[in-house]
Amino acid sequence: MTHSAHHPLPFISEPTATDSAISVRGLTKRFGEFTAVSGIDFDVARGEIFGFLGPNGSGKTTTMRMLTGTIAPQSGSIRILGEDVVASPEKVKRRIGYMSQKFSLFEDLTVDENLRFYAGVYDLPADEFVKQRAYVLEMAGLVGREKELTANLSVGWKQRLALGAATIHEPELLFLDEPTSGVDPVARRHFWDLLYDLAGQGVTLFVTTHYMEEATQCGRLAFMYAGRIIAEGSPREIREQHLLDIGDRDDSGRLRTASIEDVFVRLVTREREEAGR
């Protein structure tokens, strides 16, 4: 565990919402002199699909690692499913799932052994494992490939196995860090269908992506830039809020409709220009 005994007490700037899946206030993480996450605030409602966007190095993974209790923040408060994660990171571990950016599968274990390993991590009772294993293999389309070495699976299969491993204990809230990077368009669609199924079962999803068409699939979005949240809202709200700022006009002087990608590129370009001044 990375929590150190001399870790300073969190500074609670504002009360966090207790009924939401995730409630974050003033969350800050520094690595030495460098501030990776700089006092961010946001809430995610239960059952929501929340998209977390931002350019490389903007602090998405660092935020996710703090939310899952993997690393401790310097300051700020995190409430996950009503529990204070900064004070007791162990409390929510069994209620959340985390599919990390590197998939955290053991390449030299079989499909079945990877699932068994994660069931062990979550102390899943044997009967529940049998039930969940069957469900996960079916969901991931891995029935008949249980004995295959994970190293031999293509990226798309690995990704679905990683989703299976992250959900073996039926978490209420699932964190997914760029789950579809490097996966072909068909496999990505299929993966999102699986995410929708989970959301339909009431699972809250917190997902990072660089694919803008995936961003538009989310109920709400936050855009990160250099450790701060620079825009937040539903995809439609974000487009509408920034349409006037972007101000692209067609030949007849009408405002052009902006896509989420347009908004994203403009926001990042503007932030970079302002930082350069």
Ligand X SMILES: Nc1ncnc2c1ncn2[C@@H]1O[C@H](COP(=O)(O)OP(=O)(O)OP(=O)(O)O)[C@@H](O)[C@H]1O
Least distance between Mg ion and beta carbon 59 (Å): 8
Do the strands 22-31 and 34-44 form a parallel or antiparallel pair, or are they unpaired? antiparallel
Q: Identify residue 22 by its one-letter amino acid code.
A: I
**Residue pair 25/76 in contact by the 8 Å Cβ criterion:** yes
Percent of residues in the chain assigned helix, strand, coil, to nearest 5: 35, 25, 40
Query: Choosing among Mg ion, ligand X, none, which partner's interface includes residue 36 (Cβ < 5 to 8 Å by kind)?
Result: ligand X
227 to 266, contacts with Mg ion by CB under 5 A?
Answer: none
Give the orientation angle of helix 185-200 with respect to helix 155-166, to 10 degrees: 10
Binding-site ranges for ligand X (CB under 6 A): 31, 36, 54, 56-62, 101
Surface-to-core class of residue 3, CB atoms within 10 Å of its CB (0-12 exposed, 13-18 middle, 19+ buried): middle
**Residue with smaller CB distance to ligand X, 31 or 196:** 31
Pairing of strands 83-84, 34-44: unpaired
Interface positions, 100-129, toward Mg ion (CB under 5 A): 101
Give the nearest distance from C-beta 151 to Mg ion in angstroms: 23
Q: Which stretch binds Mg ion (CB under 5 A): 72-80, 94-102, 181-189, 265-273?
A: 94-102
CB of 66 to ligand X, least distance (A): 10
Take residue 100 and report the two structure tokens written for it: 């990390």
CB of 208 to ligand X, least distance (A): 7
The nearer residue to ligand X, 96 or 224, going by C-beta atoms, is: 224
Answer yes or no whether residue 61 interacts with Mg ion by CB under 5 A: yes
Interface residues with Mg ion (CB under 5 A)? 60-61, 101
